[in-house]
Amino acid sequence: MRLAILALLAFATPLAAQQNRRTANDGNVVLDGIPELPERIAQRLNRYQNIRSASFGDWAGEGAGLYVVTRFGDVPQVHHVAGPGAARRQLTFFTEPVSGVSRRPGGTELLFSMDEGGSEFFQLFLLDPATGDARRLTDGTSRNGAAVWSDDGGKLAYQSTRRNGRSNDVWVLHDPGDTTSARLVFQAPDGAFWAASDWSPDGNRLLLVQYVSITDSRIHLLDLETGAVEHVAGGELAPANYAGVSPTFSADGAGIFLATDSEGEFRQLGYLDLETARMTFVSGDIPWDVEGFALSDDGSRGAFVVNENGISALYLMDPAALQYRRVDSLPVGLIGGLSFSPDGRRLAMTLNTARTPSDVFVLELGRTPFAYGALARWTTSEVGGLQTDEFVQPDIIAYATFDAVEGRRRTIPAFIHRPDTTGAHPVIIYIHGGPESQYRPGFSGTFQYWVNELGAAVIAPNVRGSAGYGKSYVKLDNGAKREDSVRDIGALLNWIQAQPDLDPDRIAVYGGSYGGYMVLASLTHYSERLAAGVDIVGISNFVTFLENTQDYRRDLRRPEYGDERDPRMRAFLDSISPNRQAQRIRVPLFVAQGQNDPRVPVTESEQIVRAVRDAGQDVWYMNALNEGHGFRKKENRDLFDQITVLFFERHLIGEREVSRR
């Protein structure tokens, strides 16, 4: 570890050599050019940083409670909850975060995944909840995920790069008690991304999803006895998205439930008859994306979630009649992790609102598919003693941008969190990653701190290229249109200038991953209108990013960003990359990175820090040696938040206002 730290500290230009460099968190974090942190910041942030959350893992069996993933120490672990409001009993005690929990059908063992140091080379483990013993099922070196149990729990299908490190193949563990029983059942083309989504009821077939891009995925059926692969839906001639919801066999295996935008702008829930190839759409009259689906074990009940302008809506479904009805009694927020209890009489979910962190709830169901009763809260996560019912709730806005649609100015959707005080407030623009993602108004202790303690307004735009607003909107930033999304930020700056309660002279941009690129690009285009920028694991050069991102994901990014192997596209990507325009960044910059990041390699942050410093501008740089694409360990996240607050105090809020607050 000492040699690694010394090597990282040696990375410096002549100007960077003058920076203040030190380590933190037992040597796991390198801080370069970052001032000492005042104790008062840690004290004020303390309650916000001790907010917990819980997400649904799986049912523990009939009448045996359920499993959740929550954090009592440094990272999330598996816990058992016996009933509504019961104590959370911890079952795993690893130093790395645990995710992807599912109970083996017909048994008690728990499957989960875990990586090391944020590398995202996930391994699959099987846990005996009675003894706490866990054993690894995968090889320890490849990347594994998308694990699916057969209905009888006898076999496990999963995705793995085990064969060559580049291709995402499908493997089957024929006996989970014997790791040598793993067999390659589908060999993907070089660099391609394939995964199993469901087993047929008889265990002889697998549904496979081939992911090409967010607008192009395909469904296939693999016969495990013959090895034959049958194309079921999607294709190059009529590209559509079939990957938003895992395709699922009906109870009789005669058809599959899926969601696709093949017939319009949004993903509709449909049923595909495998014999006739006839598709029947269920949610065709809902003009938003279906994003979650669950089917009861006996196939008599269904449920799905719709993303309605960033807010989740839950619907119960009758799979036989292919009819649905909305559930109106839920809090306004975000819903995930749908799962019917083994007897089909209850529906578990994870709920998150602007004023409550994620927690596990269970909806009681009636005798008929549309009947439901009370919603029971099974976990109540601690919120650091804060009065979260007083937290600011965001407003939905839409601002005009530079281009037009059918003769009218295009509008960009956004969410704004406004402080409950008078005067012109400083502004933090939060730009999501992806880019095919979407900001949604969930619980954020970070946003609430910025609003309540710093007095800043927070605006989260869903610029072109964001998901959730139709497939045409997703495509608006592809390839040579990349900087059109940056122009949407310029239009937001215009909107801010026209608001009497917002200060156009105090605006910062903040974002991670692709959002980090957007921060850097915004600084190169609009430095004269911005006060500061925070870039977390951001892309600084598209060519070097595509060349250095992990092999298993490179081909997945080229449809979005462009193929750097094409000379013309390579020249274009290089020309718009922020590190080639570093001299145009004329405001303070804070860059944060994880050393083990497999998506956006550490070299992306190193080169932008070097380039901006060479141009004479101040840069703070944080590199966590035990993290990957972001900070999952609490002590690292806490440190990052504290540095961010100090950065905003110095470069956005102003000393006079900080002392006043």
Whether 391 and 334 map to the same domain: the answer is no
Domain-located, residue 355: yes
Residue after which a domain boundary falls, among 348, 377, 406: 377
Give me the count of residues in the chain.
661
**Mind listing the pLDDT tens digit for each residue in 416-433?**
999 999 999 999 999 999
**Mind listing the pLDDT tens digit for each residue in 558-616?**
888 888 999 999 999 999 999 999 999 999 999 999 999 999 999 999 999 999 999 99
Whether 513 and 614 map to the same domain: the answer is yes
- β-partners of residue 365 are 372
Domain-located, residue 506: yes
Q: What does the pLDDT average to over 348-359?
A: 96
Residue after which a domain boundary falls, among 136, 164, 189: 136
Whether 126 and 165 map to the same domain: the answer is no
Range of the domain at 453: 37-48+386-660
Whether 125 and 170 map to the same domain: the answer is no
In one-letter notation, the amino acid at residue 244 is: G
Q: What is the pLDDT of residue 529?
A: 98
Distance CA 581, CA 345 (A): 59
Whether pLDDT at 3 is above 60: no
Domain-located, residue 367: yes
Q: What is the pLDDT of residue 538?
A: 97
Whether 66 and 41 map to the same domain: the answer is no
Whether 212 and 116 map to the same domain: the answer is no
Distance CA 520, CA 589 (A): 9
Whether pLDDT at 470 is above 60: yes
Q: What is the pLDDT of residue 15?
A: 41
Q: What is the pLDDT of residue 143?
A: 96
- β-partners of residue 156 are 149, 173
* pLDDT interval class at 659 (50, 70, 90): low
User: Mapping DSSP to helix (H, G, I), strand (E, B) and coil, where does residue 651 land?
Assistant: helix
Name residues whose C-beta falls within 8 Å of residue 264's C-beta, 6 or more positions apart in sequence. Answer: none
Domain-located, residue 541: yes
The answer to whether 193 touches 556, Cβ cutoff 8 Å, is yes
Q: Count of domains in the chain?
A: 3
Alpha carbon 458 to chain centroid, angstroms? 20
Q: Does a cis peptide bond (omega within 30 degrees of 0) precede residue 435?
A: yes
**Residue 250 belongs to domain with CATH number:** 2.120.10.30
For 580, left (φ over 0), alpha (ψ -120 to 50), or beta?
alpha
**Residue 598 belongs to domain with CATH number:** 3.40.50.1820
Domain-located, residue 18: no
Whether 123 and 160 map to the same domain: the answer is no
Residue after which a domain boundary falls, among 377, 408, 423: 377
Domain-located, residue 177: yes
Q: How many CA atoms lie within 13 A of 202 on its CB side?
A: 8
Domain-located, residue 31: no
Whether 174 and 290 map to the same domain: the answer is yes
**Mind listing the pLDDT tens digit for each residue in 199-258?**
999 999 999 999 998 889 999 999 999 999 999 999 988 899 998 899 999 999 999 999
Whether 398 and 278 map to the same domain: the answer is no
Pairing state between β 532-536 and 134-136? unpaired
* pLDDT interval class at 9 (50, 70, 90): very low
Whether pLDDT at 498 is above 50: yes
DSSP label at residue 332: S
Q: Which of 473, 471, 560 is nearest to 262 (CA)?
A: 471
Percentage of the chain surpassing pLDDT 70?
Answer: 96
Q: Which of 455, 457, 406, 398 is nearest to 428 (CA)?
A: 457
Whether 127 and 239 map to the same domain: the answer is no
Whether 112 and 187 map to the same domain: the answer is no
Whether 201 and 242 map to the same domain: the answer is yes
**Mind listing the pLDDT tens digit for each residue in 264-310?**
999 999 999 999 999 999 998 999 999 999 999 999 999 999 999 99
CA distances from 260 to 13, 222, 246, 264 (A): 50, 20, 11, 9
CB atoms within 10 A of CB 588: 21
- For the ranges 4-8, 333-337, 583-587, the lowest mean pLDDT is seen at 4-8
Domain-located, residue 14: no
